Amino acid sequence: MKIVIIADHASINGGQAKVAIESAKGLAARGHAVTYFAAVGPLDAGLVAAGVKTILLEQPDVVSASSLTLFGLQWFWNAPAARRLREFLSTCDRNETVVHVHGWAKALSPSIGPVLKASKLAIVFTMHEYFLVCPNGGFYDYPVGHACHRRPMSLACIAHNCDSRSYFRKLLRVTRHAALQHSGLLDCLDHVITISRLQREILERHLPANVHFHNVGNPIDTPPLGQKDDAIPGDFVFVGRISPEKGPLLFAEAARLSGQRAVFIGDGPQAETLKAQYPEAAVLGWKDPAEVRKLLRRARALVFPSVWYEGQPLTVLESLALGTPVIVSDMCAGREFVEDGVSGRWFRSNDASSLAAAMAELADDGVARRMSQAAYSLYWKDPYTLERHLDGLCAVYDEALGVEEKAVCAMT
């Protein structure tokens, strides 16, 4: 089988790129001819080592762009990317090629829509976020700090400023979304991979009725370290971007209310506000994956206070795999992986008192140890391994190609 993976980035800068790159390497290891098409470098060295063919456009994203005006043109309609993709896909055999789109919203733009539609190839999308249906990508109202329930592109949606910066920026997003709706990108949604039940429930309301949905969880590369020892559990820890939709100030307030210590691993636009308003909190900044794993392993609990829907929060699963219970917001997709009262606790979203009560419960060492043991056991009973992820992808690819014998993509 020939597999074309399309993504904005060719190196790991977040969960979306990590999943795209790790799956590309894994599929190549199974003997498939994999091509990785991306706009933004640098190129992950592991792709080349795995034998993955790469097409890298060496374009900027919003972080690396020297001119935001020029990048704005690329963000709205990336014509060079469309031309290069069209050239490559024209060489692909329709009977044996699957195109798997992981990301397009940060650099490739809706311009890939007409190309995909015209190619007549089997197309698969993984929904890491909600950009195909929501102009701001998250069904999240940044100014008020709550999930947005307006119908995307309705008058109520267009008239309301949900953007994190300005209404003008919201209107730019609306304009691009209108271009997306006429680009042919939505016409390619035959096979859509969702990464949580909540994500599918939200998307089903806004996508065509004939879409074939598949649930394929993202892989987690945490090794089985065994149950934790009997040492006293450590602190309550937050891991990730310190930004409003992730709820960092909510966690800091709950820690203050419950008399517990809040530890933040990460950085972001709310970091300075956090330090100023909650000087008792420990803000460690970004750490490499190995150090994050050590800190999570020693933690009493991961606190995941996200106030938007999320897709499939990898940090929640990584924490459970390490034997660290999770306290999670009851409105985000992370709740699906936590058994309330067993491997962690759910709390009422955006409610610092509810979160504080959950933290107070896990402040008891006995409760923390019991939940730790349950978290580890339940996760490793059915772990989210790379092989499980690849098996799921292969089943979707076979269906997209119309293969009756489900063996084309199987590992031999």
* Dihedrals phi, psi of 226, to nearest 5 degrees: 85, 170
Q: In this structure, is residue 75 part of a structural domain? A: yes
- Both 367 and 389 in a single domain? no
Report the C-alpha gap between 358 and 58 in whole angstroms.
47
The total number of structural domains in the chain stands at 2
- Both 76 and 210 in a single domain? yes
Give the tokens for residue 281: 């909190």
- Both 246 and 210 in a single domain? no
Q: In this structure, is residue 228 part of a structural domain? A: no
- Both 116 and 200 in a single domain? yes
Contact 194, 207 (CB under 8 A): no
- Amino acid 183: pLDDT: 96
Residues contacting residue 37 through CB under 8 Å, at least 6 positions apart? 4, 5, 6, 7, 54, 55, 84, 85, 88
Task: Give the CATH number for residue 335.
Answer: 3.40.50.2000
- Both 92 and 127 in a single domain? yes
For residue 168, give Cα distances in angstroms to 159, 163, 171: 11, 9, 5
Q: In this structure, is residue 200 part of a structural domain? A: yes
User: In the block, which residue shows the tokens 């009422």?
Assistant: 348
- Both 275 and 391 in a single domain? no
Question: Tell me, what amino acid is at 364?
Answer: D
Domain that holds residue 286: 236-381
DSSP helix, strand, coil percent of the chain (3-state; round to 5): 40, 15, 45
Please name which of 309, 332, 325, 323 lies closest in space to residue 358, comparing C-alpha atoms: 325
- Both 254 and 375 in a single domain? yes
Q: In this structure, is residue 151 part of a structural domain? A: no
- Amino acid 404: pLDDT: 56
Q: In this structure, is residue 165 part of a structural domain? A: no
Q: What is the pLDDT tens value at each position of the chain, 412 positions in all?
A: 999 999 999 999 888 999 999 999 999 999 999 999 999 999 999 999 999 999 999 999 888 887 878 889 999 999 999 999 999 999 999 999 999 999 999 999 999 999 999 999 999 999 999 999 999 999 999 998 888 999 999 999 999 999 988 999 999 999 999 999 999 999 999 999 999 999 999 999 999 899 999 999 999 989 999 999 988 999 999 999 999 999 999 999 999 999 999 999 999 999 999 999 999 999 999 999 899 999 999 999 999 999 999 988 999 999 999 999 999 999 999 999 999 999 999 999 999 999 999 999 999 999 999 999 999 999 999 999 999 999 999 999 999 999 754 444 554 4
- Both 208 and 340 in a single domain? no
- Amino acid 15: pLDDT: 86
Q: In this structure, is residue 111 part of a structural domain? A: yes
Report the C-alpha gap between 215 and 112 in whole angstroms.
24
Alpha helices in 278-409 (DSSP H): 289-298, 314-321, 352-362, 365-381, 386-401
Question: Tell me, what amino acid is at 196?
Answer: S
Q: In this structure, is residue 179 part of a structural domain? A: no
- Amino acid 406: pLDDT: 46
Among left, alpha and beta (phi > 0; psi -120 to 50; other), residue 254 is alpha
- Both 66 and 103 in a single domain? yes
- Amino acid 412: pLDDT: 42
- Amino acid 410: pLDDT: 53
pTM listed for this prediction: 0.91
- Amino acid 13: pLDDT: 87
Helix orientation angle between 248-258 and 352-362, rounded to the nearest 10 degrees: 60
Residues contacting residue 219 through CB under 8 Å, at least 6 positions apart? 19, 22, 23, 26, 384, 385, 386, 388, 389
- Both 266 and 360 in a single domain? yes
- Both 277 and 292 in a single domain? yes
Give the tokens for residue 240: 């990730």
- Amino acid 160: pLDDT: 96
Q: In this structure, is residue 299 part of a structural domain? A: yes
Report the C-alpha gap between 310 and 138 in whole angstroms.
8
- Give DSSP secondary structure letters for 297-316: HH-SEEEE---S--S--HHH
- Both 128 and 249 in a single domain? no
